[in-house]
Structure 1
Amino acid sequence: MTGTPGMTGTSGMGGTSGMGGTPLWVVLPAHQEAARIGDTLRALAAQRDRDFTLVVVDNASTDGTGELARRFAGEAPFPVHVLDEPDKGVGCAVDTGFRYAIAHGARLLARTDADCLPVPGWTAAARAEFAAGAGMVCGRITARPDEHGPLGRAGFRALVTTAAFFGRIRPAHHRRHGYLAPYRMHAGNNMAITARLYEEAGGMPRRPSPTDRLFLNRVRRRTTAIVHAPDMVVANSTRRLGAYGIVGTARWYLDQGPGRHGEDPR
């Protein structure tokens, strides 16, 4: 099932996405991100490889997130589409954005989040992995340098390392359960996948976060062509760490839910 996007805007100065190779589309889900989406959009505009189309999916925001994205579309160095997704949940927003991109000609898909900062070589690194035969690319995440200071960033690194280790040893992730590829650390805010594989895997679960592990395991049942790209880097927000604390954030990343906490603070 795909979502029903509302208003769609298309603009941008580039207009050449895909002309130099296989069409690449970047999907950016956003919920209540007016304070942060500007930094993310500027990071995308600073990519060395700007031969892509951007889809911003405004997921029921009430703070003007969508309007900021539409304003950016008028000056962006690449085409920009802005969708309204009324069904709340990052899975809904991502699935709607990916399926919209595929319907409009995308063959390669990449995703980050509206509180993240992709490094300038992010899209180029994804494209290089696809050219080498990858079906799905899992990038590397670091902590944003402008949130929570050295201690918070160290805590974030420790949580990422713990989550990656837990994912590898978790019995449910072992290949004897029908998976074709070994488990790899997968962050939804830094991933890329071919359009064909996305559809074959059944798409992103249309539900609130966390969705990343569910989606990765869907893909692992379809292909061995899953790679980790250390040069495909995104600086991740650490605000969940501030909102949930170390224990609460660990629960979240281990699929135990937010505990006593409410809405995902991203």
Structure 2
Amino acid sequence: MDTSGKLTVVVPVFNEAAGIRPTLEALARQRDSDFDVVFVDNNSTDDSATVITDFAAEHGLPWRVVLEPQKGTGAAADTGMRAAIAFGATILARTDADCIPREDWTAAIRRSLTTGGLRLVGGELVPRRDEGLPWTTRALLRGAVHLAEAFGRVRKGNRDPAYRGPYMMAAGCNVGITAELYEAAGGFPRTAIEDLHEDRALVNAVRRITSRYARRSDVVVYGSSRRVNAWGLRNTLLWYKDHAYKPEHVDIR
């Protein structure tokens, strides 16, 4: 099986100038450095694009920034994925601009989608430790993620005879997919996050095509807890449960 596919990481960005550097540094530290990055500026009003291009120039990295004016992580992620495919990518990975991929993240994505025989991989999402969240809350958050995946497997909306495998949670900030499957599944829906969880929609589209998808504990991203800090744990979990909690401002910065 081919292990040399062209890997591109896609990162949606909205007003992250003040906090994106840890993400940039984490991507620059990847052990498997044979990958490109497409950052999608989702119509930021700050200097996000400049921070990214300056960092890339400083480190001699051929990273790209593309613009997507339509608001929403779905639209931004889809623009980035399709731009990556146009640039020749055969393996796609996505993380977010407030997340820190572990140093072996790109290697684990590549391994899962080549020698691992998968076409879609969802990774492990671990709360960041540098945002002031107590370890007890971080542990509860991790447990809630696994509980939500278990609930998703029995949820009526995720059950259909047309699905070729069980429901799987694949957080948009830690997912890998082959380019051919991304296109076959229709990609991330180009919606605002207030309207639809685009990662769940993509997983369910994939489930109608193939059973070659899985969660992998070795594909690790440290995710931001700023929503928990802003909304509290209960409201954050309700937000992810079909937007049962609707905050006035979704884009927490």
TM-score interval for Structure 1 and Structure 2 normalised by the shorter chain = over 0.9
**3-state DSSP class of the match of 1:141?**
strand
- Contact 1:111 1:192 survives alignment (8 Å): yes
Is 2:205 the partner of 1:221? no
Residue 251 of structure 2 corresponds to: 264
1:181 pairs with 2:165: yes
Match of 2:157 among 146, 157, 172: 172
After superposition, where does 1:186-197 map in structure 2 within 5 Å?
186-197=170-181
2:50 match: 67
Number of paired residues?
246
1:1-21 C-alpha deviation (Å, 9 max, x unpaired): xxxxxxxxxxxxxxxxxxx82
Deviates more, 1:152-161 or 1:134-143: 152-161
Q: How does 1:201-220 map to 2 (within 5 A)?
A: 201-209=185-193, 210-220=197-207
- Would the aligned equivalents of 1:52 and 1:78 in 2 still touch at CA under 8 Å? no
For each residue in 1:51-99, what CA deviation from the matched residue of structure 2 results, as whole angstroms up to 9, or x when unmatched? 0001011111112111101111213354201111111100011000000
Q: Could you say which residue in structure 2 is the equivalent of 1:243?
A: 230
Displacement of 1:167 in angstroms is: 1.1
* Alignment partner of 1:150 is 2:150: no
Alignment of 1:46-65 (within 5 A): 46-65=29-48
- Amino acid of the residue matched to residue 78 of structure 2? D
What is the distance in 1 between the residues matched to 2:44 and 2:227?
19
State the AA in 2 paired with 1:60: N
1:133 maps to what in 2? 117
Unaligned runs of 5+ in 2: none
TM-score where L is the length of structure 2: 0.92
Distance in 2, matches of 1:182 and 1:71, equals 43
C-alpha RMSD over aligned residues: 1.5
Match of 2:239 in 1: 252
Structure 1 unaligned residues grouped into runs of 5+: 1-19
- The Cα shift of 1:257 comes to 5.0
Residue 151 of structure 1, CA deviation: 3.1
The corresponding residue for 1:8 is none
TM-aligned CA deviation for residue 258 of structure 1 = 4.0
After superposition, what is the alpha-carbon deviation per residue over 1:207-259, rounded to whole angstroms, capped at 9, x for unaligned? 12221111111111111110211111000101111222222211221122542
The aligned residue for residue 86 of structure 1 is 69
Q: Secondary structure at the match of 2:232?
A: helix
SS of equivalent to 1:74: helix
| One-letter amino acid of the counterpart of residue 88, structure 1 | K
Aligned residues of 1:50 and 1:78 also touching (Cα < 8 A) = no
Distance 1:254 1:24 in 2: 32
Tell me which residue corresponds to 2:220. 233
Name the TM-score, length of structure 1 as normaliser. Answer: 0.88
Distance 1:76 1:220 in 2: 39
SS at match of 2:32: coil
Alpha-carbon distance in structure 1 between the residues aligned to 2:92 and 2:247? 35
1:185 CA displacement: 1.9
Amino acid at match of 1:243: A
1:86-125 counterparts in 2 under 5 A? 86-125=69-108
Deviations 1:94-113 (A, max 9, x none): 00000001011110000000
